[in-house]
Amino acid sequence: MKVAIRLDASPQIGVGHLMRCLTLADALRDRGAVVYVLARDLALVWQQRIAEHGHHHLSIVSGAGTSSTMLLDWQSDAYATKECLLSIGRVDWIIVDHYELDIRWEQIVRDGTVKVMVIDDLANRRHDCDVLLDQNFFENPLARYDGLVPAQCVRLLGPSYALLRNEFASTRELGRRVRHGPLRVLLSFGGSDPTGETLKVLREMQQADVDEVEFDVVVGASNPAAPEIAELCCTLPRVNFLFDVKDMAALMYKADVFLGAGGTTTWERCCLGLPGIVVATASNQIEGAEALGRQAVHLYLGDCSFITGQDMMAAVRILKLSQSLRQAFGIASKNIVDGRGAMRVVSALIAPPVSLRPAIGDDCERLFAWRNDPAVRRSSFNQDPLEWESHARWFEATLRRPDRILLVAEMEGDGGGVLRYDLDGYSATVSVYLAPDSMGKGLGAHLLATGSSWMEQHHPQIVELIAAVMPDNKASISAFLKAGFDMKHFIFRKEQNHGQ
């Protein structure tokens, strides 16, 4: 499988897009994919990093602005990207992680045949994509991309899909260790720190040191102020300067508190249960950082434009004095992210092909065996074992009904599933179950999205799909949400005992 990833990175816009896409590229490589990173004016250090990870870098040459100005001519960029793709040969997926590209660019580049995945944080423009990933935390995420992506688009929403390197999941398993001695603070404002927050903190430390606190100051390779920061760190007690760190998980494991930006590092520290003091250094960080602050996941100070070094050091003193607050933030953080997000995203991209066809008489016995499996019955409204005679009568009647569509999904091996659509005017009620061999693999959303596309093609008069799911069936709820369904209603039921 070949995958092309379109992104940009520079000191002005930071390297967050590159780092999270590099994590996804590594996960794809581990599943056998060959990955090409397409970027404009990418610094040599990052070209080398891509090569070190076993991926290929191709430079976009479009005459359409540069990464330093970011005045992007999307149309020129789209055709320049297509030129790069021609040199690669046929690709299976194009992944785009770029705030200045939208449906217009995607329609030119995909050319009606290539699958597209979009990584977005903003939900402020339309996309033509098969999969959309927004790994950020929002209190009401379900309608966030309504009207912005196609109906059949699989939406991967929330921190459970956070793109983290493998070392975070493995370090998480070690648990938080009990430390003694000075409080250890990890200070990190991303790969380039475009707003100069690191210097802001260090200059405040020159004026008012904090007793019994040790700082690990992490500076990225794209930070133009790195020499000045290194020099300043040498003049301060209990301050360690660390440049272009490769093992952030190990540093976070040793730390007691994180002080830094609200970007992709948020999910790294949450995975390890590291309490955080967070400052938004870009406008797209504010909404998510505020939401996490309201959920008591971290101490959110605000937009960096209004936050001083004195404010940040005051927050460090507060967490230094309150072990219970640090513990509360740590527990809440760890409940947000488990470090398996990249694996989940890759599973969505390389899900086995699904072939849908209307059920025929010969399917009766196979569907009886699938539907009667204990694991399938546990997720059904009627959990009683089926009787063959009643199933056969139901199946025969179903095939004759003009208002019911019964589809059989066939996958690799013995896998598969069943979709049923009961038509009612312009809407259809859908029910779904997977064959026992297909359960537990995250295929439910894939099957539902494929079914939505089938209905769109064969029954275009249907404008609304409705489903009822048991409240404790977390897997089905997740599958419907990922397939683009919204949770609209709750149904309450009470059985009357009539005085008994």
Q: How far apart are the first and last CA of the chain?
A: 64
Task: Please tell me the predicted confidence (pLDDT) of residue 496.
Answer: 79
Task: Please tell me the predicted confidence (pLDDT) of residue 499.
Answer: 63
276-280 β-sheet, strand order: 239-243, 213-219, 183-188, 257-261, 276-280, 299-303
Q: Are 194 and 15 in contact (CB under 8 A)?
A: no
Task: Please tell me the predicted confidence (pLDDT) of residue 450.
Answer: 86
Is the pLDDT score of 256 beyond 90?
yes
Cα–Cα distance between 280 and 294 in angstroms, integer?
Answer: 15
Is the pLDDT score of 161 beyond 60?
yes
- 466, containing H or E segment: strand 464-466
Taking the CA atoms of the chain, what radius of gyration do you get in angstroms? Answer: 26
Q: Which two tokens stand for residue 328?
A: 């509360």
Is the pLDDT score of 19 beyond 50?
yes
Angle, CA 104 vertex, CA 100 and CA 106 arms, to 5°: 85
Extended beta strands in 8-129, E state: 34-39, 56-59, 93-97, 115-119
Backbone angles phi, psi at 450, to 5 degrees: -65, -40
Is the pLDDT score of 185 beyond 70?
yes
Cα–Cα distance between 145 and 124 in angstroms, integer?
Answer: 9
The confidence band for 337, taking pLDDT boundaries of 50, 70 and 90, is very high
Task: Please tell me the predicted confidence (pLDDT) of residue 500.
Answer: 61
Per-residue model confidence as pLDDT tens digits over 201-242 = 999 999 987 789 999 999 998 899 999 999 999 999 999 999
Is the pLDDT score of 303 beyond 70?
yes
Q: Do strands 416-424 and 427-434 pair parallel, antiparallel, or not at all (unpaired)? A: antiparallel
In this prediction, what percent of the chain has a pLDDT beyond 90?
Answer: 66
Per-residue model confidence as pLDDT tens digits over 356-407 = 999 999 999 999 999 999 988 887 888 888 999 999 999 999 999 999 999 9
Average pLDDT, the chain: 90
Cα–Cα distance between 120 and 331 in angstroms, integer?
Answer: 27
Q: Which two tokens stand for residue 445?
A: 């959303």
How large is the angle between the packed helices 16-30 and 44-52, nearest 10 degrees? 20
Task: Please tell me the predicted confidence (pLDDT) of residue 66.
Answer: 47
What domains are defined for the chain?
2-157 (3.40.50.11190), 167-334 (3.40.50.2000), 351-482 (3.40.630.30)
Read off the pTM: 0.73
Burial of 392 (0-12, 13-18, 19+ CB in 10 A): middle
Task: Please tell me the predicted confidence (pLDDT) of residue 68.
Answer: 44
The confidence band for 252, taking pLDDT boundaries of 50, 70 and 90, is very high
Task: Please tell me the predicted confidence (pLDDT) of residue 476.
Answer: 86
